[in-house]
């Protein structure tokens, strides 16, 4: 059983690494960002509320996010473990997660921080394209699709995320520094933090992560 948290600045490559790790360890993905984007697409009650925050790059209030994760961790079954991506991002979320894990008797295996410099991130987010149908992620320079603008997997059109426009990106970075970065120290103190150089080719980043987990 492997239960991972993947952390990192916006655009660090959390989603890219999550896709590889899920397949390698046969884990289930719990990505709060993906959940909110799906709910917005469905125009659900949660989606309507989340929409107020996502496009500008602001965080959705802790209460709603904690409730969603709690529901998923307590109701779903993760036979080989899970990977939390994009949660927790505030101290209140980290504390809520600790309580959930304790109640459910679940232990975290490791907290992976994918470390990348701000300049690299700006370029990554400016070039990111996502499939409008299946959510698969590409980059115009680093991970281009076979046919420009079309998803390799499902043939749908690729789009830019609303929050990848420059203003939202700068806001996301400053929120990260203020609210999320302090959590690295929190997990370091618990002896769970593994820091990985995220500026390398994504296959090398992946290799470093699995070597550090060691299973
Ligand atoms: P979320 O979806 O979690 O966004 P994020 O943290 O800003 O991170 P990204 O998804 O932008 O980046 P990533 O690290 O996954 O990078 P990727 O692999 O795509 O959250 C979105 C929003 O939802 C938040 O702003 C907030 O509003 C809300 N939300 C979510 N969780 C919340 C929470 N817990 N509390 C409150 N609100 C919450 O890679 C980026 C690009 O780089 C891609 O193009 C990729 O192809 C490329 N790339 C990746 N790795 C490499 C590499 N090694 N070399 C070259 N290119 C690479
Ligand atoms: Mg992501």
- Cis, bond preceding 57 (omega within 30 deg of 0): no
Taking the CA of 205 as reference, the closest ligand is 1
* Alpha helix segments (H runs only) across the chain: 14-25, 32-42, 45-54, 62-75, 91-104, 118-127, 166-175, 182-189, 202-213
Coil/strand/helix, residue 150: strand
Q: Is the CB of 35 under 6 A from ligand 1?
A: no
Tell me the domain boundaries of the chain: 4-117+180-207
pLDDT tens, residue by residue, 23-77: 999 999 999 999 999 999 999 999 999 999 998 899 999 999 999 999 999 988 8
- The CA 29 to ligand 2 mean position distance, Å, reads 11
CB 113 less than 6 A from any atom of ligand 1: no
Distance 1 CA to ligand 2 centre (A): 23
Beta bridge partner(s), residue 185: none
This prediction has a pTM of 0.94
Active-site positions? 14, 89, 128, 161, 172
Q: Whose CA is nearest to atom 8 of ligand 1?
A: 10
pLDDT at 215: 66
What's domain 4-117+180-207's superfamily in CATH? P-loop containing nucleotide triphosphate hydrolases (3.40.50.300)
């Amino acid at each position: 059983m492997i239960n991972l948290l993947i952390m990192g600045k916006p655009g660090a490559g959390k989603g890219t690494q999550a896709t590889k790790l899920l397949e390698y360890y046969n884990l289930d993905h719990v990505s709060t960002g993906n959940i909110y984007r799906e709910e917005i697409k469905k125009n659900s009650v949660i989606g309507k509320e989340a929409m107020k925050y996502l496009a500008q790059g602001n965080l959705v209030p802790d209460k709603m996010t904690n409730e969603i994760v709690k529901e998923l961790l307590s109701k779903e079954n993760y036979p080989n473990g899970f990977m939390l991506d994009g949660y927790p991002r505030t101290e209140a979320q980290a504390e809520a997660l600790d309580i959930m894990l304790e109640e459910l008797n679940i232990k975290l295996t490791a907290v992976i921080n994918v470390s990348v410099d701000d300049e690299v991130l700006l370029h990554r987010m400016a070039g990111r394209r996502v499939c409008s149908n299946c959510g698969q992620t590409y980059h115009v320079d680093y991970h281009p699709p076979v046919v420009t603008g079309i998803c390799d997997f499902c043939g749908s059109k690729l789009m830019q995320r609303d929050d990848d426009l420059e203003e939202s990106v700068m806001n996301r970075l400053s929120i990260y520094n203020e609210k999320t970065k302090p959590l690295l120290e929190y997990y370091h103190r618990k002896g769970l933090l593994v820091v990985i150089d995220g500026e390398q080719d994504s296959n090398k980043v992946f290799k470093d992560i699995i070597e550090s987990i060691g299973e």
